[in-house]
């Protein structure tokens, strides 16, 4: 379910590496299901420098607001206008049309610090167990 080629953070962002040290960023299916209906996104504008694991924006669902963290350092190249216009895309297609920003990575080796899909699957399974205790 969580794409194999993506890398994941403990804060439930994903990054999909692209040729030329670029990467598309979004939030995971687990994150969108925890948030519920997303209704507004405050995303960094193109040109903004972001730093790995530092806050780069906010996601508002009907119920709550939550911080969005950068999965890697770099410069924002592009913001997904479709998701600004229709925030529900984050819920309907978190790994596809619901992507948030595209980054130019300043230090691609930072991606080694992120989880692969198997590790991330385990990570959210553990969170589920903690919840039910």
Partner 1 sequence: MEPLKKTPLNEVQHELKARMVDFGGWDLPVWYTSILAEHKAVRSRAGMFDVSHMGRLWLTGRKAEAFLDRLLTKSVPRLEIGHAQLCLLCLEDGGILDDLVVYHVGIERYLVVWNAANTEQKLEWLFRWSSSDPDIVIKDSSSNTVMLAVQGPAVCQLKNLEDAFPSPRFGIAQAKIGNLSALVARTGYTGEDGFEIITDAANALPLWESFIKQGVKPCGLGARDSLRLEAGMMLYGHDMDTNTNPFEAGLGWLVDLEKGDFIGKNALLEIKRRGVNRKLVGFQMNGREIARSGYRILKSGQEVGQVTSGGYAPSLGIGIGLGYVPIELATIGSEIEIMIHNKPVPAHIVSKRFYKKGASNEP
DSSP-assigned beta bridge partners for residue 15: 7, 25
CB closer to partner 1, 40 vs 49: 40
Q: Nearer to partner 1 by C-beta: 58 or 118?
A: 58
Q: How far is the CB of 101 from partner 1 (least distance, A)?
A: 18
Instruction: In whole angstroms, give the CA distance from residue 27 to residue 25.
Output: 7
Distance of CA 53 to the CA centre of its chain: 11
Chain residues that interact with partner 1, rule: CB under 8 A:
36-37, 39-40, 42, 58, 60-63, 65, 88, 91
Nearest approach in angstroms of CB 103 to partner 1 is: 21
Q: What angle do CA 5, 71, 122 make, to 5 degrees?
A: 55
Cβ–Cβ under 8 Å, residues 17 and 4: no
Residue with Cβ nearer partner 1 (36 or 116): 36
CB of 119 to partner 1, least distance (A): 26
* Nearest distance from C-beta of residue 39 to partner 1, angstroms: 5
Do 76 and 46 form a contact (C-beta atoms < 8 A)? yes
Cβ distance 70 to 25 under 8 Å? yes
Q: Which is nearer to partner 1, 12 or 24 (CB)?
A: 12
């Amino acid at each position: 379910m969580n794409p194999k080629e993506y890398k994941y953070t403990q804060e439930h962002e994903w990054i999909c590496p692209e040729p030329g040290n670029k990467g598309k960023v979004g939030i995971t299916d687990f994150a969108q299901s925890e948030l519920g209906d997303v209704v507004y996104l405050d995303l960094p504008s193109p040109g903004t420098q972001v730093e790995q694991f530092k806050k780069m924006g906010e996601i508002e669902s009907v119920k709550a607001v939550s911080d969005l963290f950068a999965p890697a350092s770099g410069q924002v190249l592009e913001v997904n206008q479709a998701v600004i216009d229709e925030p529900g895309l984050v819920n309907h297609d978190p790994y596809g049309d619901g992507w948030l920003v595209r980054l130019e990575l300043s230090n691609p080796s930072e991606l080694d610090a992120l989880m692969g899909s198997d590790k991330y699957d385990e990570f959210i399974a553990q969170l589920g167990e903690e919840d039910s205790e």
